[in-house]
Structure 1
Amino acid sequence: MLFNSIGFLIFLPIVFCLYWFVFNKKFQQQNRLLLLASFYFYACWDWRFLFLLMFSIGLDYFSGIKIENSKNKNEAKFWLTLSIVINLGFLGFFKYYNFFVGSFAELLNGFGFKANVWLLKVILPVGISFYTFHGLSYVIDVYKKRIKAERDFTDYAVFVSYFPLLVAGPIERATHLLPQIQKKRVFNYEQAADGMRQILWGFFKKMVIADNCAPLVNEIFTNYQTESPGTLAIGAVLFAFQIYGDFSGYSDIALGVSRLFGIELLKNFAFPYFSRDIAEFWRRWHISLSSWFRDYLYIPLGGSKGGLPMKIRNTFIIFLVSGFWHGANWTFIIWGGLNALYFMPLLLTNKNRQNLEVAAQGKLLPSFKESLQMFITFMATCIAWVFFRAATVSQAFEYIKRICSKDLFTIPHPLPVKIIALVGCMLLVEWINREKFHGLEIKRFSPWIRRSFYVVIIYIILRYANFGNNEFIYFQF
């Protein structure tokens, strides 16, 4: 079930009314409702993979209790290792089996050996990367004694399968979400109203920005060998806004929907295209994943406490693993490696934490220096996105090679004026609200101005949205 589907627009009000008007006496009843709603939400995609979600929940719930009840550290480590191996085993089988087998076959063919391999012919279970990381963080936190093992199965199952975040995040932590699940929720009008505003902005970014960029981006990347350099450059830029509108739009809808139920999820995007360097970009893009890798991979590897070689090694590891997490293709690995290279000058000069506040904080416009920094960071990000979007590594290199031509600055024909104007509107709204929680948090204006603006946003959605029931990009991850 997609957020941008008629089914979800029917599903959400039903669950909302049951949650607040029928099962509002006890939060335990609300949790059971959320669990059933989440299982139904997931089963609408493909009920056959519901067993995999349930198995993952049961495995980590049982492992957490066994870790906490262990008589010594070796026993606790055994249950932790077992959980990690099984979780990553399922993830690796469904997501990476074909990649490793195909790469091994290509290696053998390169040495002159003919390899006949069996490839897996099954679709990737939606959201498997996200709910696997939910479970892994939980068992690791129990092992590290950051949190007590959860004894109520329903509460734990809701933590893993909560439908707003189930298929594309944000990647939640038990330390943040479980305490909210384990207490009574009282309906808060202001929270719910702001959640609706965030949902509206999420739909705008997904259905107006991402879904209008997608057809043109697909056409340009498909026919990149015959397109002009200027058109290819526009295609790369539009893909940057497509993936941002798509993924951050999903996150806004997820956070907004959750706020309707009195539960706050982790912020996943903080206006990343206003970043002044690549380190700031990664503090603002897919925040829940970046912080997950920081806490559960980078720091255990030694983080930045060791010497410079260790810092460099650990930085490359988390970026390469992040790329591999996104998909079983060398394009994602190179995308991760390229971002690591971008990060190196900041790491070597110890400037990777110099831009912790928003750009032009408290000001209307950025300085010339900040504008230049944002432009350079955005352009570097667009180059990396080419590898993320391309079907193969060779296509990505050829695409970038064709951009680097003397005809680059020739204005393409036809110029996608409508899409550029819509993207400009989004950037203007987000720039004005870059210090806020989301793009439509515009409390500074009078009520009638705010309501008029919401009406305009709704009109734009109805007028320009692509109602083709398009899936979200990150469903494939």
Structure 2
Amino acid sequence: MLFSSTIFVFLFLPMVLIFYYGIFRNKRKLQNIFLLLASLFFYAWGEPAFVLIMLLSIISNYYFGLKVDEHREDKKKSKSIIVLMLIFNLSIMFIFKYLMFTLSNIKYLTGLNFNIPNIALPIGISFFTFQAISYVIDVYRQNGKVQKNPLYVGLYISFFPQLIAGPIVRYETISEQIENRQENFEDFSKGVCRFIIGLGKKMLLANTLAIVADYAFSLKASELSVCMAWLGAIAYTFQIFFDFSGYSDMAIGLGQMFGFKFLENFNYPYISKSISEFWRRWHISLGTWFRDYVYFPLGGSRVDSKKRLVFNLFVVWSLTGLWHGANWTFIVWGLLYFVLITFEKLTGFDKKLGWFGHIYTMLFVTLGWVLFRSDNIMYGIEYIKSMFAMNGNVFMDSLAKLYFLENRYFYIGAILFSLPLKNIISKKLNLDNKVFDLLYIIIILILFVLSICYIVKGSYNPFIYFNF
């Protein structure tokens, strides 16, 4: 079930709110149980069988959490439980997400002839698996109390706002909120506005620019003109940002409606002046997850040798690429960031760039997204060659002109909304708070009406991060 669908906006969400604030008002246990059941129903809407995977994850990690808390004083036993928990969770993710990829590579390398099973990918498995791991590790580290009630573990892992495309909510950030959150009208109204902003990003910008990106990447790379290649690459650069940050906005807004406060997942990443800064601003929940659960335990940057630092960065960025999908394009994309960030850390190169840092960053980010979007590495390389007129391709063709003219205002809107407009407008115009609030309300209403129009007419509506 998509957030940007009529069934969600006009039926599922209103019904959940009515039950939560009406029938179960001021009854926290019943509210939590109801949210759990609603979340499982939400997940089961597309593929009911995969709810069994979700329930297995909930029950198993509830048990791991109890055991690691029970044996807290016995370091050897508690660490053994953590190892078993990691093997269990990562094995499930491996079977559904990486087994076919692994077997395909074995078949190719060995020349053996065997059938590869066709395994469907449960939506959002990477997100809810990482949250399950976070629960047990945070209990082990005493960063959150163990849940004696399995239904509450279920609510944390399966809560529908962030279930299928994040942000990755770490247990330590909301462990107290499960039972002791406070709902109020101000937070609820802020949540509604945040949801509408995310919906607008998704429906008006991401979906529109997705048409340009999909067309460009559907052609043979050698058939692309230079301008069409750049139009497609830039369109995808904006599509993935507004698709994912829009979904995160909607998730954070929905959480606020029910009294949950999720941490931010994006902080205007396209204004970054270095690759390191970009990754402090992009998909923050994933970056901090790998930092706290992988990079720091390996020693982080506080190590005795540069070789160890490089190794730690290699592990983190290899895993970051692999987390995004079972394809060599994702692994190479992750390794690209490993090379760039390692270079910045070892040389301090990024601190010497000044204003050119933004151009350097966005160039490599855009090229990285080309690899990320491509079906295979060779296509990605050929596409990049077409961007720089290295395929003997023409500079401009009629299709590039057509796509640019039809979508120029969406490109301009994408550039503007990639910037911290509120801060810029406040400083430049020195607006009174009341005037700014009035403008904000008007913009929210316009966004909502336009987004609903796009939803009702059934416009192109993909969600990129459902695949992860």
TM over 0.5: same fold? yes
The alignment status of 1:416 with 2:404, answered yes or no, reads yes
Instruction: Tell me what 1:35 maps to.
Output: 36
Equivalent residue for 1:77, pick from 76, 79, 90:
79
Identify the residue that residue 203 of structure 1 maps to in structure 2.
Answer: 199
Instruction: Report the Cα offset of residue 458 of structure 1.
Output: 3.5
CA drift of 1:286 comes to: 0.6
More helix by share: 2
Q: Kindly tell me: are residues 443 and 300 of structure 1, through their superposed partners in 2, closer, same or farther at Cα, counting changes over 3 Å?
A: farther
CA distance in structure 1 between the partners assigned to 2:79 and 2:354 by the alignment: 51
Which whole-Å CA distance do the structure 2 matches of 1:15 and 1:456 have between them? 25
SS at match of 1:264: coil
1:401 is matched by which residue type in structure 2? Answer: K
Does the Cα contact within 8 Å between 2:212 and 2:232 map onto a contact in 1?
A: yes
Do the aligned residues in 2 keep the contact of 1:331 with 1:390 (CA within 8 Å)? yes
* Residue aligning to 1:439: none
What amino acid is the match of 2:132? G
Q: Normalised by the size of structure 2, how large is the TM-score?
A: 0.91
Q: Which amino acid aligns with 1:348?
A: L
2:69 aligned with 1:68: yes
Residue 228 of structure 1: aligned partner: 225
Runs of 4 or more, structure 1, over 3 Å off, are 406-412, 432-436, 442-448, 458-466
* CA displacement at 1:21 relative to structure 2: 1.7
Conserved 8 A contact 1:322-1:336: yes
Do residues 298 (structure 1) and 295 (structure 2) align? yes
Please give the alpha-carbon distance, in whole angstroms, between the structure 1 residues aligned to 2:176 and 2:325.
32
Residues 156 and 178, structure 1, Cα contact 8 Å, conserved in 2: no
TM-score, normalised by the number of residues in structure 1: 0.89
Deviation at 1:189, TM superposition (A): 1.9
Give the percent of matched residue pairs that are identical in Structure 1 and Structure 2: 35
Q: For 2:340 and 2:75, how far apart are their aligned partners in 1?
A: 40
- Partner of residue 428, structure 2: none
Write out per-residue CA displacement over residues 257-291 of structure 1, whole angstroms, 9 at most, x where no aligned residue.
11111111121111111111111110111100000
**Aligned partners of 1:402 and 1:191: how far apart in 2?**
49
1:427 to 398, 415, 421: 415
Structure 1 gap segments, 5+ residues each: 110-114, 356-367, 437-441
Q: What do the CA deviations read for 1:362-409 (whole angstroms, capped 9, x no partner)?
A: xxxxxx943x32232112100011110000111011111122217776
Q: Specify which of 95, 115, 124 is matched with residue 118 of structure 1.
A: 115
Counterpart for residue 457 of structure 1:
447
* Residues 199 and 256, structure 1, Cα contact 8 Å, conserved in 2: yes
Q: CA deviation at 1:199?
A: 1.1
Q: CA 1:13 to 1:420, structure 2 compared with 1: closer, same or farther past 3 Å? A: same
What letter corresponds to residue 8 of structure 2 in structure 1?
F
Q: 1:170 to 1:476 in 2, by over 3 A?
A: same
Distance between the aligned counterparts of 1:408 and 1:251, measured in 2?
39
1:449: Cα distance to partner? 2.5
Note closer, same or farther for the CA distance 1:405–1:286 as it changes in structure 2 (3 Å cut). Answer: same
Gaps of at least 5 residues in structure 2 are 425-431
Distance 1:374 1:463, change over 3 A: farther
Deviations 1:286-342 (A, max 9, x none): 100000000011111110011211111111221111000000000000000111122
Greater mean deviation of Cα atoms: 94-103 or 119-128: 119-128
User: Residue 476 of structure 1 aligns with which residue?
Assistant: 467
- 1:194 maps to a residue whose letter is K
The separation in 1 between residues aligned to 2:450 and 2:6, in whole angstroms, is 19
Shift of 1:176: 0.8
For the residues of structure 1 that align with 2:422 and 2:327, how far apart are their CA atoms?
34
Which amino acid in structure 2 is aligned with residue 133 of structure 1? F
Q: Which amino acid aligns with 1:92?
A: F
**Shift in Å at residue 345 of structure 1?**
2.7
Report the more deviating stretch, 26-35 or 398-407: 398-407
Does residue 159 of structure 1 match 2:150?
Answer: no
- Is the CA contact (8 Å cut-off) linking 2:329 and 2:377 kept in structure 1? yes
Given candidates 190, 193, 207, the residue that maps to 1:194 is 190
On the 8 A contact 2:294/2:316 being kept in 1, the answer is yes
Contact 2:276 2:341 in 1 (8 A): yes
Bigger mean CA deviation after superposition, 236-245 or 72-81: 72-81
* Change in 2 beyond 3 A, CA 1:184/1:321: closer
User: Matched residue of 2:335: which SS?
Assistant: helix
Distance 2:414 2:258 in 1: 27
1:410 Cα deviation (Å)? 4.2
Question: For residues 234-271 of structure 1, what are the alpha-carbon distances to aligned partners after superposition, in whole Å with 9 as ceiling and x for unaligned?
Answer: 11111011111111111111111111111111211111
